[in-house]
Amino acid sequence: SQKIEQNSEALNIQEGKTATLTCNYTNYSPAYLQWYRQDPGRGPVFLLLIRENEKEKRKERLKVTFDTTLKQSLFHITASQPADSATYLCALEGGTASKLTFGTGTRLQVTL
């Protein structure tokens, strides 16, 4: 069965460091992979999308890589700030109906 795993339930890092979050998937061939941010009690907010034929995508302090051979995406936040503290979700899109399948999420805590 299809499975999407995000490396850890929680990640604690110090302000200014780079946070790296991992998204691994099995039994899936996504055409696109998306990353979202979700704050407690709120809906997800879109951050970045990367296509299957793209290796890397950047947006300000965010960087996403996509390795279809390893079936893995890495999400980096450089120069992290306490305001980056949230849960980050990866979501795969593929097949019909444009459905997104979400990973379990990683809760990032950035401390001073």
Binding-site ranges for other proteins (CB under 8 A): 9, 31-32, 36, 41-46, 49, 51, 89, 93, 97-105
Q: Considering only CA atoms, which of 92, 87, 112 is closest in space to residue 102?
A: 92
- Give least dist CB 88 to other proteins, A: 11
- Give least dist CB 89 to other proteins, A: 6
Please say which residue, 5 or 78, places its beta carbon nearer to other proteins.
Answer: 5
Ramachandran angles phi, psi of 109, nearest 5°: -125, 120
Please say which residue, 27 or 98, places its beta carbon nearer to other proteins.
Answer: 98
Q: Which helix (H) or strand (E) holds 22?
A: strand 19-26
Residue type, 91: A
